[in-house]
Structure 1
Amino acid sequence: MKRIKISLLCLFGLYAFSACTSDLDVTPEDDDTLTTEAFYAQPGAYKQALAGVYGNLSITGTGGSGSSLLQGVDAGTSNYGRCIFYMETLTTDEALWSYENDAGLRELQRNIWTADNPVILGMYSRLMLEVALVNEYLRQTTPEKLSGRGVTDATELADIELYRNEARVLRALVYYNMIDIFGKGTFVTENDPINVRGPQYSAQQLYDFVESELTTVLPSLKAARSNEYGRVDQGVANMILAKLYLNANVFIGTPKYAECAAKCTEIIGSGYTLNTNYLNNFTADNQISSEMIFTLQSDGNVTQNYGATTTMINGQVGSIEQNGENFGVSAAAWSGAIRIRRQFAEKFAGNEFTNDVRNTVISGDRAIDITDIADRDQGYIVGKYSNISSTGVVGPNTTFVDTDFPLFRLADVYLMYAECAVRNAAGTTTAQAVTYVNALRMRARGGSVNGNISASELTPDFILDERARELYWEGHRRQDLVRFGRYAGGSYNWAWKGNGSNGVALPNYFNLFPIPTSALNTNPNLTQNTGY
């Protein structure tokens, strides 16, 4: 088995999540369900329960690919990774979804969403479900609970304390997402009663909590790259902090680029190395890549669901090309579900990128412009992700892929440091930033220095474009455009932005998504974001 076993049933079998919109409802199942105490009396129960906390970030339910633990929310609009792809990628210049009858997607990719959008509800609900799972895990693993169950073995107690700290990092991760996507949200911890309607926390309050929580648990986590694959370590915690600091000026109005650069330097010195082959970060065996910091796990046999990588690999198959077999899925797969917009395709225009392996753009006889979204033959496509291993072995399932979603990887850290240097952060040097950028460009060109840049070329515009070239379809683009002031407003438009075929300006409040109407109706402590 290439990864830790994800067994959501271990934890979810104990609780019914009675409503997707009630933030944190956790109520007992009927009498036929295994009781909490009986569950935790089993060997290995505490690690199994932790696997359930992790598993919520990879799958949607325990009843197969179409199941959802969130009542009233479809599995296809509430998978964590898929929602990240929809909200951070589909709402930008990086991609466009052909089937606009799919719930919520027309509004997202045309930037005309409302608080009733089902994907926005799915994202909010999934984040709050993760909070609920972490909180319950922490309630069930207190010293008092363990003592009452007769857990006294020193090694087991130390393991459980580590599990608790990992769970706290996962809660910090989703609260970081909450700041980025919604700018505020319900705040509840393990110290609050079950089913409480928590207070609304502002971006500043959530920021302070995430920073404090990660800083507190960091020394107690395993060193970077020393934990089981797929589990939290110091590298993951530092990466979330680095992201928090990188976007602090947007989140709380206070620049923290020096703090971000310091975290980047710490991560870079933690043993991660660039994979010599860029595309091997996106193959069916990408769990062996030396630059992965944290991934959302995918297994074609064990975690069958329509998550981020299953969606992207099937979706990138061209309607004309019928090239699914090149990526380890059926030849037609979803036949042109995802295409790229002109403005992103042009990031790879010119001879400079002819031999750049990051350039997976497929143009063929296609027109670069998409004038009719329903016409799947219009617009270029890409072939970045694959359900085939680095050694040529196709994943065990040709629909549900084996490819993990790279939520955080080292290349991003190099570019974050470079951005901090461009922004004149203390503790950075332009020379070091250029070295990091050129390491990525040389990797992309098989070691050739022909694409290397000089210090004078390291500008904000270059960094934004280079992040697009290196990190496309990895869930960073909306955040990057917001941070560089290119999302709202009209300084940078792309096809179908704001529902105009050539793109129109967006109001500034579109830098955040609305709080879902259902969440507002359930929790009177919540208020809507300005403009919605």
Structure 2
Amino acid sequence: MKKIIIKTATLGLLLAGMASCADDLNLSSIDPQSSQSYDATELLAKQYATLGLTGQAGPAGKPDMSGDEGESGFYRTVFNLQELCTDECIWAWQDNEDIPAITNIAWNSSSTRVNWAYQRLAYDVTLYNQFIHEQSGKLDEDFVAEVRFLRALHYWYFLDLFHKAPFKDTFNKELPVEKGGKELYDWIDTELTEIENILKPTGTYNSKTNFGRADQGAAYALHARLALNSSVYTDGATKDYQKAKDYCDKIISSNAYALSTAATNGFSGYAQVFMGDNDENAQAMKEIIFPIRQDGEKTKAYAGSTYLVSSMRISGMPYANTDSYWSCNFARKDLVEKFFPGDNIPMASKADALSNPTEAQVIAKDNELGVATANVIAAAGDDRAMFYMGVGGGIRTLSPGKQITGFLNGASIVKWSNQRINNGAAHDRTFSDTDIPLFRLAEIYLTRAEALYRLGQTGPALADLKMLTDRAHAVTHTSITDNVLIDEWCKEFYMEGRRRSDLVRFGLFSGSKYLWDFKGGVAGGTGIDSHFNIYPIPANDLAGNPNMKQNTGYGN
């Protein structure tokens, strides 16, 4: 296994108390000649930067964590564990490290990608603990509360992915203790409750001036997400659906946010939330409660939205607004079928292939054949069906069949885009400008709909669902069931780094009740054991921290 070496976050400050094998830790100064003095507000900026950056020198160089710097970023590591194992997408290149285990849901405690996510979360928590320890009583308390929010967010990811965390809320050399299940759930619940009255009011940072900082709206959104999953996290001991509803009510009644609904220059309101200028487009910003800030010039990294845009494109696809084509992630047939249950998606055939076409020729051919993304959306009757099945980059199939051979084995996903609503140039042709909406108002409506449904209030639940289907120009639901809800979670939020969580909550991730291609390593899918609902604690962390115990089903 590759070792992950933790380095200091900024200006020579040493990190201590990290949960990891001692042999895997090398705590050292980034710049041995740097001063031990620093500006606290710059350090605050670093706390947020951990969400979208991976080191001190752009996309590569002076990384926070050793190894493949692009693979070690916060969003990319958690996204992969939440998406690559589900019914939404497949990683094209199955010879890449640890990818088959994630694709087929066959990981173990030595899984490299599981370790990357675990170590990134632990590293960031250590950074936050340092800031909170050193700045409490010095900076304004709302600044410190913002970092406490980031820490709670990371502990939520620990709870969701691992059902426990190497827990510390102090900054010292003591090893973290194990905190999990209801105990960790209650800690996050209490922590959020405490900081909510300290943070700036809901919507304070929903503006160009301070876009990307956490206010009450961000804390409420995390609190609602936590509460909706309460039964999973506490093994049925707590069912906080009323709390989930109440926090959604706080956000919606504030009128600080609004769904992006109006089409502009051919881009739907939905599409604009995921475009390169979503931090400049007032309508898109209004939906975004808390983003990970990205800019092709100022935040160069391979682990944020550059990953989302580049991994889902191949050279030759139109409207890319990028020169970086990784050709990694494509849609599983199961995702496409959510929008096209009859397999009637408009798609080019082998006979339609073009030889070395220009972008203009690709666009013209797609329009002639009726297979452009606009045609796909129209055929689906849903603005959210943002797939490409045209001739650009080659001819696609809907499914790999029995073996995954490459990027053209499925529909291309064009939801994440570096385009701008005025069709202007990107800030950079390699790195993406698109901010990542970690929390957005659509989640609040759908969370409230599910909470209301579970509380037996189907009428109001349908009204919340209608907010989303109306925005998507999709058919309105007249009844509500578990299947309606889980499918709406997929249609609204596919490829946003949450699918595994939703499937687990609905009892569909493990077992054989719901199958998808390559679940359990079989084309067509097969049942898997329930212990896969939770990821294992990495073996190297167990070796270095006797306070941590392995999750059930993964040995000692």
Q: TM-score range by the shorter chain?
A: 0.7 to 0.9
- Following superposition, the deviation at residue 354 of structure 1 comes to 2.5
Counterpart for residue 385 of structure 2 = 359
- Following superposition, the deviation at residue 399 of structure 1 comes to 1.8
Counterpart for residue 407 of structure 1 = 438
**RMSD across aligned positions (CA):** 2.3
Task: Give per-residue Cα distances to partners, 1:449-503, cap 9 Å, x unaligned.
Answer: x61122xx21110010011001111111100000000000011111011111111
Instruction: Say if 2:120 is the partner of 1:126.
Output: yes
Counterpart for residue 149 of structure 1 = none
Counterpart for residue 488 of structure 1 = 510
Counterpart for residue 151 of structure 1 = none
- Distance across 2 between alignment mates of 1:467 and 1:124: 26
- Distance across 1 between alignment mates of 2:26 and 2:249: 41
Instruction: Say if 2:267 is the partner of 1:267.
Output: no
Aligned residues: percent identity? 31
Instruction: Say if 2:166 is the partner of 1:186.
Output: yes
Instruction: Say if 2:89 is the partner of 1:91.
Output: no
Counterpart for residue 75 of structure 1 = 69
- Distance across 1 between alignment mates of 2:549 and 2:195: 31
- Following superposition, the deviation at residue 16 of structure 1 comes to 4.8
- TM-score, normalization by structure 2: 0.83
One-letter code of the match for 1:196? Answer: E
Change (3 A) 1:486 1:67: farther
Instruction: Say if 2:444 is the partner of 1:444.
Output: no
Instruction: Say if 2:335 is the partner of 1:344.
Output: yes
- Following superposition, the deviation at residue 68 of structure 1 comes to 6.2
One-letter code of the match for 1:283? Answer: M
Change (3 A) 1:468 1:255: same
- Following superposition, the deviation at residue 88 of structure 1 comes to 0.7
Matches for 1:455-494 after TM superposition, within 5 Å: 457-494=479-516
Instruction: Say if 2:212 is the partner of 1:230.
Output: yes
Which of 180, 197, 210 is matched with 2:175 structurally? 197
Which of 295, 300, 305 is matched with 1:299 structurally? 295
One-letter code of the match for 1:485? Answer: G
**Unmatched 5+ stretches in structure 1:** 1-8, 40-44, 147-156
- Following superposition, the deviation at residue 113 of structure 1 comes to 1.1
Change (3 A) 1:368 1:162: same
Counterpart for residue 458 of structure 2 = 430
- Distance across 2 between alignment mates of 1:33 and 1:127: 28
One-letter code of the match for 1:212? Answer: T
Counterpart for residue 214 of structure 1 = 192
Change (3 A) 1:218 1:30: closer
CA contact (8 A) 1:387 1:401 kept: yes
- Following superposition, the deviation at residue 11 of structure 1 comes to 5.2
CA contact (8 A) 2:167 2:176 kept: yes
One-letter code of the match for 2:438? Answer: L
Matches for 1:163-174 after TM superposition, within 5 Å: 163-174=143-154
- Distance across 2 between alignment mates of 1:71 and 1:318: 29
- TM-score, normalization by structure 1: 0.87
CA contact (8 A) 1:73 1:122 kept: no
Which of 513, 517, 526 is matched with 2:539 structurally? 517
Counterpart for residue 385 of structure 1 = 416
- Distance across 1 between alignment mates of 2:72 and 2:431: 17
One-letter code of the match for 1:333? Answer: Y
Matches for 1:300-315 after TM superposition, within 5 Å: 300-315=296-311
1:185 counterpart SS class = strand
Task: Give per-residue Cα distances to partners, 1:157-192, cap 9 Å, x unaligned.
Answer: 5xx3211111111100000110000011211112x5
Change (3 A) 1:400 1:268: same
Instruction: Say if 2:400 is the partner of 1:370.
Output: yes
Instruction: Say if 2:242 is the partner of 1:258.
Output: yes
- Following superposition, the deviation at residue 213 of structure 1 comes to 0.8
Deviates more, 1:14-23 or 1:59-68: 14-23
- Distance across 1 between alignment mates of 2:188 and 2:421: 36
Task: Give per-residue Cα distances to partners, 1:416-460, cap 9 Å, x unaligned.
Answer: 1111122125xxx43322222112111112xxxx61122xx2111
Counterpart for residue 243 of structure 1 = 225
Q: Paired residues, what number?
A: 488
One-letter code of the match for 2:273? Answer: N
- Distance across 1 between alignment mates of 2:534 and 2:8: 35
- Following superposition, the deviation at residue 32 of structure 1 comes to 4.0
CA contact (8 A) 1:104 1:119 kept: yes
- Distance across 2 between alignment mates of 1:211 and 1:461: 29
Deviates more, 1:473-482 or 1:286-295: 286-295
- Following superposition, the deviation at residue 25 of structure 1 comes to 7.1
- Following superposition, the deviation at residue 377 of structure 1 comes to 2.4
- Following superposition, the deviation at residue 338 of structure 1 comes to 1.3
Change (3 A) 1:260 1:353: farther
- Distance across 1 between alignment mates of 2:274 and 2:549: 39
One-letter code of the match for 2:397? Answer: A
- Distance across 2 between alignment mates of 1:72 and 1:442: 46
Task: Give per-residue Cα distances to partners, 1:365-419, cap 9 Å, x unaligned.
Answer: 5321212212332222221111112221232212210001111111111111111
- Following superposition, the deviation at residue 22 of structure 1 comes to 4.8
- Following superposition, the deviation at residue 64 of structure 1 comes to 2.6
CA contact (8 A) 1:264 1:417 kept: yes
1:15 counterpart SS class = coil
CA contact (8 A) 2:114 2:535 kept: yes
1:200 counterpart SS class = strand
- Following superposition, the deviation at residue 67 of structure 1 comes to 3.9
- Following superposition, the deviation at residue 72 of structure 1 comes to 4.2
CA contact (8 A) 2:275 2:419 kept: yes
- Following superposition, the deviation at residue 13 of structure 1 comes to 2.1
Counterpart for residue 15 of structure 1 = 13
1:326 counterpart SS class = coil
Change (3 A) 1:25 1:196: farther
